[in-house]
């Protein structure tokens, strides 16, 4: 089991400024440990990148260091040609209990504004490879937002989702008001954001926030299975599919359909589209080369 390391990487880093992606890829292959997350490749073919948030004493509160490491691990998986999907999970008790309140307590407006506080979290939503959140326990505030930045959410039966920032005298700052509204609609989002009420896994499923609910001890393995299924398809075509679905949140129907059509046309520039259709006609399993 190869856990991967940020610190060892900085020791290995050559002098001179290495591009961020290159240094992340190097660090990924260095084989040692991050401080706040566990990172490895899972699945029979080791084609699913796996990131486990690992700050159990703080219920995986998303301190700055943790989110930087998540970004580094995502960069490394994005650059790894063997990885076709990524799973992010926490512990049975907490996916993540939100941004780190102790770290935020004494921040000033000036620091938040000039440092564009939380902007680097967006990396999770810009990864081209499909990302699955496997959520057990609390997914609150930034934890719920982190799950919603992922492409698919699987929940354990005891998962709880919420945006309780109002109880702290603030509001969601990493997409909660936007992504939750798109996922579950206005009324439930307003209720959650204005009262801090949480919803359980069943309600999250009924409202469309999560796609599947599993027993607590099966969520991660089911997410890995889903990742393996995705990884067996063409990586380049999966990225196009993801881009097209995400465009539905940004564009009008006409513009979205136009983009989808262009991406569909683009699949005809790939060897994998040819292979997929030829395999169907020849009644055999397609062998995608990600080209
Ligand atoms: N930040 C920092 N530390 C946190 C934390 C957070 N978000 N959530 C929990 N912890 C810490 C607690 O302070 C506690 O640490 P100590 O043992 O050192 O006191 C430890 O984790 C265990 O927590 P509790 O004792 O509170 O555990 P509990 O089982 O009684 O309650 C909980 C669990 C309901 C999740 C409760 O911890 C809680 O309400 N946490 C805060 C949730 C929250 O408000 N999240 C939103 C944060 S703001 C945000 O995320 C902004 C954004 O949009 C990005």
The enclosing domain of 166 has a CATH number of: 3.90.226.10
Please tell me the distance from the alpha carbon of residue 107 to that of residue 64, in angstroms, as a whole number: 13
Please tell me the distance from the alpha carbon of residue 257 to that of residue 245, in angstroms, as a whole number: 10
Write the pLDDT tens digit of every residue in 249-282.
999 999 999 999 999 999 999 999 999 999 999 9
> Is residue 291 a part of any domain in this protein?
no
Tokens 């937002």, residue located? 145
SS3 261: helix
Q: Is the dihedral of CA 235, 237, 243, 244 positive or negative?
A: negative
Write the pLDDT tens digit of every residue in 176-205.
999 999 999 999 999 999 999 999 999 999
* 201 and 189 fall within a common domain: yes
Ligand 1 centroid to residue 94 C-alpha, Å: 10
pLDDT of 73 higher than 70 = yes
Q: Does 90 sit in the ligand 1 pocket, CB within 6 Å?
A: no
For the CA atoms of 60, 69, 7, 75, what is the dihedral angle to 10 degrees? Answer: 150
Number of compact structural domains in the chain = 2
CB under 8 Å to 218, separation ≥6 — which residues? 156
Ligand 1 centroid to residue 55 C-alpha, Å: 12
Write the pLDDT tens digit of every residue in 228-252.
999 999 999 999 999 999 999 999 9
> Is residue 289 a part of any domain in this protein?
no
* 200 and 276 fall within a common domain: no
Q: Does 121 sit in the ligand 1 pocket, CB within 6 Å?
A: no
Please give the backbone phi and psi of residue 19, each rounded to the nearest 5 degrees, phi first.
-60, 145
* 124 and 42 fall within a common domain: yes
The enclosing domain of 268 has a CATH number of: 1.10.12.10
When pLDDT is cut at 50, 70 and 90, the band that residue 33 belongs to is: confident
Q: Which domain holds residue 46?
A: 6-231
Instruction: Calculate the average pLDDT of the chain.
Output: 91
* 178 and 150 fall within a common domain: yes
* 170 and 49 fall within a common domain: yes
The arithmetic mean of pLDDT across residues 128-150, rounded, is: 98
Q: Please, what is the end-to-end C-alpha distance for the chain in angstroms?
A: 29
**Of the residues 206, 231, 256, the one at which a domain ends:** 231
* 33 and 116 fall within a common domain: yes
């Amino acid at each position: 089991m190869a856990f991967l390391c940020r610190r060892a990487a900085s020791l290995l880093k050559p002098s001179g400024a290495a591009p961020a992606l290159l240094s992340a890829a190097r660090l990924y292959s260095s084989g040692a440990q991050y401080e706040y997350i566990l990172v490895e490749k899972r699945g029979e073919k080791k084609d699913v990148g796996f990131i486990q948030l690992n700050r159990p004493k703080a219920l995986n509160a998303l301190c700055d260091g943790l989110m930087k490491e998540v970004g580094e691990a995502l960069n490394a998986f994005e650059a790894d040609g063997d990885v076709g999907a990524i799973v992010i999970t926490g512990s049975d008790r907490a996916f993540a209990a939100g941004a780190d309140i102790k770290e935020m307590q004494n921040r000033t407006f000036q620091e938040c504004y000039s440092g564009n506080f939380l902007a680097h979290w967006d990396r999770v939503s810009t990864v081209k490879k499909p990302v699955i959140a496997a959520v057990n326990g609390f997914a609150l505030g930034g934890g719920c937002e982190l799950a919603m930045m992922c492409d698919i959410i699987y929940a354990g039966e005891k998962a709880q989702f919420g945006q309780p920032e109002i109880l702290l005298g603030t509001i969601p700052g990493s997409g909660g008001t936007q992504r939750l509204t798109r996922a579950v609609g206005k009324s439930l989002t307003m209720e959650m954001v204005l009262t801090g009420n949480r919803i359980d896994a069943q309600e999250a499923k009924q409202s469309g926030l999560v796609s599947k609910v599993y027993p607590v001890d099966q969520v991660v393995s089911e997410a890995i299975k889903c990742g393996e299924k995705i990884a067996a398809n063409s990586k380049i075509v999966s990225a196009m599919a993801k881009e097209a679905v995400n465009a539905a949140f940004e564009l009008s129907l006409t513009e979205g359909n136009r983009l989808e059509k262009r991406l569909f046309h683009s699949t005809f520039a790939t060897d994998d589209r040819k292979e997929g259709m030829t395999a169907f006609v020849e009644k055999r399993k397609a062998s995608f080369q990600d080209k």
